[in-house]
Amino acid sequence: MTTGRRGRPGYDLAALLAVAVEVFNERGYDGTSMEDLARRLGISKSSIYHHVAGKEELLRLALGRALDGWSRIAGQASELKAPAIDRLEYLVRGTVGVLASELPCVTLLLRVRGNTEVERDALNRRRTFDRLVADLVAEAEREGDIRPDVDPATTARLLFGMVNSLVEWYRPGRGSTADQELADAVCAVAFDGLRTASPAGPRASRRLLS
């Protein structure tokens, strides 16, 4: 952050984006005007236009931070020489990491409704990611590592429903050990379930799979 003309605080693009995302999350993207952003930033609208073409570009940049994080993790997962269930676990741990490091942008992404072209592009990239997860679940089922009694698309939604629900309560900042413990907890519940394993295998699995 630098000091602009007339002693008012100036912003570089990253700092401006951080404040914009905060306001979008508070008031909703549709409910936020450039005027609102200028007021919160304490700068003029033209100072904002110095950095970006408008509100939609701020949205595109913010959603891109979350989506690029997911894409990076998806790319790394697909390059692993490992069974599908391990690539799936890598994906879950990675998206918990992206959520922890980019919480405001991920929160914004999860609220996108598709009213603008930028939002529709983001929803398309989300759907591509969802398909990748469902494909990995199906592959792990074929490899015999995931129980075959749950539909892959439903499983993928439940799994990432759990991951994404973290935006409602998780507040990062306690360090990477805390983020790691959270990823462990998510994987413990999702992959192995809450129930204590009995020597003969989990009770309800037996019931459902019989």
CB of 196 to a copy of itself, least distance (A): 5
Nearer to a copy of itself, 19 or 187 (CB): 187
Q: What residues make contact with a copy of itself under the rule CB under 8 A? A: 28, 31, 85, 137, 140, 144-147, 149-151, 154-155, 157-162, 164-166, 168-169, 182, 184-202, 204-206, 208-209
CA distances from 174 to 66, 101, 181 (A): 20, 11, 11
Q: Are 179 and 96 in contact (CB under 8 A)?
A: yes
Nearer to a copy of itself, 12 or 181 (CB): 181
CB of 10 to a copy of itself, least distance (A): 31
Nearer to a copy of itself, 27 or 51 (CB): 27
CB of 90 to a copy of itself, least distance (A): 13
Nearer to a copy of itself, 15 or 150 (CB): 150
Contacts of 57 (CB under 8 A, 6+ apart): none
- What is the per-residue DSSP string for 9-45? B---HHHHHHHHHHHHHHH-STT--HHHHHHHHTS-H
Question: What is the torsional sign of CA 111, 114, 118, 120?
Answer: positive
Half-sphere exposure of 13 (CA within 13 A, CB side): 12
174 phi and psi, to 5 degrees? -90, 10
CB of 204 to a copy of itself, least distance (A): 5
Nearer to a copy of itself, 77 or 182 (CB): 182
CB of 44 to a copy of itself, least distance (A): 26
